[in-house]
A and B are shown apart, each in its own frame.
Chain A
Amino acid sequence: MRIPINWLEEHVKLPGKLSELTNRLTYAGHMLDKIDKVNENTVIDLELRGNRADCYSIMGIAKEVSALFKTPLKNVDLLKIKSAQKIKDINITVKSRYLQRVMSVKITDAKIGKSPGWLKDRLMEYGITSINNIVDLTNYVMVETGQPMHAFDFDKVGSDLEIRTAEKNEKIVTFLGDEIVLDKDDLVWANKGSILSVAGAIGGKNHSISDDTKNVLLEAASYDQANIRRTVHRHNLLTDAGLRHEKDLDPNLVELGFCRFLYLLDKNGWGDIAESALDFYPKPIHPWKVSLNYDYLKSFSGVDINKENLKADLKWLNFITQEETAEKIDVLCPTYRTDVKLEEDLIEEIIRLYGYEKIPASVLSLETPENITPDYVNQEIELKNHMIHMGYDEVISSPFVIPDYQKLNFSLSEKASPVTIINRPSPEIEEMRMTLIPSLLGFVKKIINERGEEARIFEIGKIYFQKNDKYIEKRVLGISYWKKSKKGFRKFKGYLDSLIKLMRLADIKFKAIKIPQIYNSYNLILNNEIVGVGGQIDDIYFAEIYLDALLGKSEKQKVNLWQKYPPQIEDLTIKIPKQVEIGKVIQSIKSANKMISKVTFTDRYKDNYTFRIYYQHSDKTLGDKEVEEIRKVIVSAVKKQ
């Protein structure tokens, strides 16, 4: 809210230093956004508070200043007018419960013209363009009191007005020249033939004040906040009026704004005001009671505030003490404080006047609750450490699939459809990933394009599905590897093996599978359950591991000591026919004899595979003959395959 300082000063005495004013306002909930100068006058811009519709005005902020600095408000001149059920020459019919209150009056013999300097300047300082004196005055009073109002050309609106909800597809051209196609929930002012204004938001072009206007119909109203908010956002009508009406405005403010307008109009001699004004206010709002318990205030706020001081503060804020005991106080809230409904709201009032800066920053002294961090959180933290130990860099990608990679966005583990966004702010925010592969692939390609020699990246994140009307989020680890001019599956597999070791998973099996668009794909299987998938696109290797499937599957950490007797080591070359899985061969060698402590694959020439075999006995060093016996068993075991 832009507050020209000289305008504010008309309503309340200000402290000598501007920073004293803005600091106090900031701590009390009206943060200073910026300060600038217009027409040599200082304007402070305060952050708008969504729950303080009353503070979208000079007088609202003046009330705050008055309470914060304990200095009385200055008098505001109003022109009181007799209220009536009806206005002469015109019928206003209210056909919607969205209207809470409306005041309206006829102004005859209006003197329309350019606004005088003081009016123009004030509006310029606030940030509204001058149009003519009458329109400008409605805006002036809105900024000053917070009550929006509207002036029609009386002779153009006809004799029968309605405040009703629109029919679907009814249209209005605003005074700015924009056409709005209305919805059936939109509240409007209308006559028999056309829509005059969108209630609380914007006036129409054809019925607004012009240089030829002779008579004016002024209206100020209060509407259902939610309804106005829907309209304002539906049609993007966040005008100065709309901005105020979409908050909880006090219907009693209507009268203040209305009477302030009439006073200023009259004082400037810009028209003759009718003797009485319509005031339709079926359910008047009265101050409501809120109780404050002193003990609760103390325990909840953490400060012990002197009772007399807090009562004085509440009085400065225009809360009226209704009843008082040693334990509690009942106060009546001024109706413009639509934000104060509960005891806690009142506590905020008390501590913000006391000063947030004076609340002690106490160390949490209550009993420490037990640690309830779930295992999956620790699993992810641990996994990230494992991956960086292996030289992998962590990436985080957007969960939305880049359009280029959309064809790779399919579920690798189950039949499911993607989660899509229906209100896309831009084309790339549409489909959510069902696998991390597209984004990892994109990131690796970036490294390749940047002339990297090698890429090792990983991401821990979620993948998203829709399945049987349910939304599923699955935690996964995605790993990707690429090395310039090297076919690297064995290298990549080595990383996977090490990861499996680091995760202390017993026996993960790799099983070849077929996935269209992905070469050399395989599943990772633990105890007959698929726990991951891997494959290759171009020469980039990747795997995706399902973290929930691995939760609680880690074995206990253990250590081995060196055996007392060293192993006999020999290289054994075996011819293995095509299409035999080498993993199975190694498995059969290992299980051929319990004295084979370790088997590694060292080399390959055509169909000849060389394995390094470690023969070891726990109680003695094995002799050549013993080794030879075992070797024979190995050869026959391999042949059986």
Chain B
Amino acid sequence: MNIKNQSIARITEIGSQTELSELKVEFLGRKGKINKLIKDIKRLSDEDKKEAGRAINDTKAAIEQAIQSKIEELETHKLLHVKWFDPTVPGIPYKIGHLHPTTIVVNEMFDIFKHLGFSIIEGPEIESDLYNFEKLNLPKDHPARSLQDALYVEDPEVVLRTHTSSVEVRALSTIKPPFRLVVAGKCYRYEKVNASNNAIFYQFQGFSLQSGLSMADLKGTLFYFAKSFFGEKREFRFRCKYYPEVEPGAGLDINCAFCNKKGCQVCKGRGWIEMLGSGMIHPNILQGMGYDPKKISGFAFGMGLDRIVMDRFGIKDIRSLYNGDIQYDL
């Protein structure tokens, strides 16, 4: 009986396979303690033999069972604990692809305008003077033309578009109203390249042509967009501004996030940052497309994207956007 308790106690404490094997030999081996007991039985009386034999068999069975469960326990133990495991080891890198910051911003804007029922289009970058200027209420010698000196492919009729408004003109002349459209794309200007000016830049433009559109619709659309994109906490200012392509014209400003309208270097002391130009499509443009401006109206808005992208991603030099300077994997 002693042997039974003693062996089971020791088995419980055992921590390795080797110890267990040794213990197995000690108790169950040919010269083990059990066999010794069996030999000892011979000296007992028949009565006692019977009883002792049963007790020995019980003990042996108990030890065998204890060893068996210890083996199982050790197996499990081995799987869970015995091998050293370090979860802090670095993973094998899996390369992730990244979208360009401009694409990220454009996609976000597209999503917002899709909610408002806008479709997306594009148009050519090599444009005629007619579509880039004339049809936009910008005849030759118009004072506003110098604001957007063009890169010429052929003087004076073929330019690289100076704004996405050329796409608006193309849409107005080909697509049947009502429509709401947004466009994002490359534009070009005669500009000496430096950290804040580039000859190529991205513009985002939207326009709609539909009977009954008003300035209030324009303001509502712009505020919905601006709040969705910049956040509810920002403030916006909708003010009168002149653009030859629209009448009445409006500008949308956003409060300067750096100084909270107190005026700082970022906002040039204005407290506000000009974000977007807009207005009701000029009646001359509509008439030029064969529409009666008293029966159908439209609005249009446009903004430069690069500044917004640079602010969002903390890029200081506009040239970095399009010269391969962006390092994606941080």
B is bound to A: yes
Contacts from A to B (Cβ < 8 Å):
26-29, 31-35, 49-52, 225-227, 229-230, 233, 246-248, 296, 299-303, 342-345, 347-348, 351-352, 356-357, 359-369, 371-374, 376-377, 381, 384, 387-400, 419-423, 425-426, 428-429, 439, 442-443, 446, 450, 454, 456, 462, 464, 471, 473
- In B278-310, the 8 Å CB interface with A consists of 280, 282-284, 293-294, 297
B44 near A: Cβ within 8 Å? no
Contact A395 B244 (CB under 8 A): no
CB distance from B80 to the nearest CB of A (A): 34
CB distance from B223 to the nearest CB of A (A): 4
Can you pick out 14 interface pairs between chain A and chain B where the beta carbons lie within 8 Å of each other? A344-B248, A356-B239, A356-B250, A359-B219, A359-B238, A361-B222, A388-B98, A395-B100, A396-B322, A421-B151, A421-B153, A422-B152, A422-B155, A429-B151
Most buried by B among A300, A345, A391, A400: A300
Q: What residues of chain A lie closer than 8 Å to B86, measured between beta carbons?
A: none
Contact A384 B219 (CB under 8 A): no
Contact A296 B158 (CB under 8 A): no
The count of residues in chain B whose C-beta lies closer than 8 Å to any C-beta of chain A is 89
B193 near A: Cβ within 8 Å? yes
Among B116, B119, B323, the residue within 8 A (CB) of A397 is: B323
- In B297-330, the 8 Å CB interface with A consists of 297, 321-328
Contact B224 A363 (CB under 8 A): yes
Contact string against A for B residues 227-254, beta-carbon threshold 8 Å, 1 for contact and 0 otherwise: 0000000000111111010011111000
Contact A360 B324 (CB under 8 A): no
Give the complex CA separation of A303 and B216 in angstroms.
7
B269 near A: Cβ within 8 Å? yes
CB distance from B248 to the nearest CB of A (A): 3
Give the complex CA separation of A50 and B247 in angstroms.
13
Contacts from B to A (Cβ < 8 Å):
94-100, 102-103, 107, 116-117, 119-122, 124-126, 140-141, 143-144, 146-147, 151-155, 158, 160, 175, 177-181, 186, 190-193, 199-200, 210-217, 219-224, 237-242, 244, 247-251, 268-270, 280, 282-284, 293-294, 297, 321-328
Q: Which 6 A-B pairs have the closest CB atoms?
A: A302-B216, A388-B97, A302-B214, A348-B248, A226-B141, A29-B240
Known contacts: A359-B219, A420-B153. The answer to whether A300 contacts B297 by CB under 8 A is: yes
Contact B98 A393 (CB under 8 A): yes
Contact B220 A363 (CB under 8 A): yes
Contact A371 B216 (CB under 8 A): no
Contact A345 B247 (CB under 8 A): yes
Give the complex CA separation of A246 and B145 in angstroms.
11
Q: What residues of chain A lie closer than 8 Å to B180, measured between beta carbons?
A: 364, 368-369
Known contacts: A32-B270, A359-B216, A471-B126. The answer to whether A388 contacts B248 by CB under 8 A is: no
Give the complex CA separation of A399 and B158 in angstroms.
17
Contact A362 B219 (CB under 8 A): yes
Contact B178 A369 (CB under 8 A): yes
Among B95, B143, B217, B270, the residue within 8 A (CB) of A246 is: B143
Give the complex CA separation of A395 and B326 in angstroms.
8
Contact A423 B97 (CB under 8 A): no
Q: What residues of chain B lie closer than 8 Å to A32, measured between beta carbons?
A: 270
> Who on chain A is nearest to B190 by CB?
A425
Known contacts: A366-B217, A369-B210, A425-B192. The answer to whether A31 contacts B199 by CB under 8 A is: no
Among B121, B244, B321, B326, the residue within 8 A (CB) of A51 is: B244
Give the complex CA separation of A372 and B114 in angstroms.
11
> Who on chain A is nearest to B171 by CB?
A372
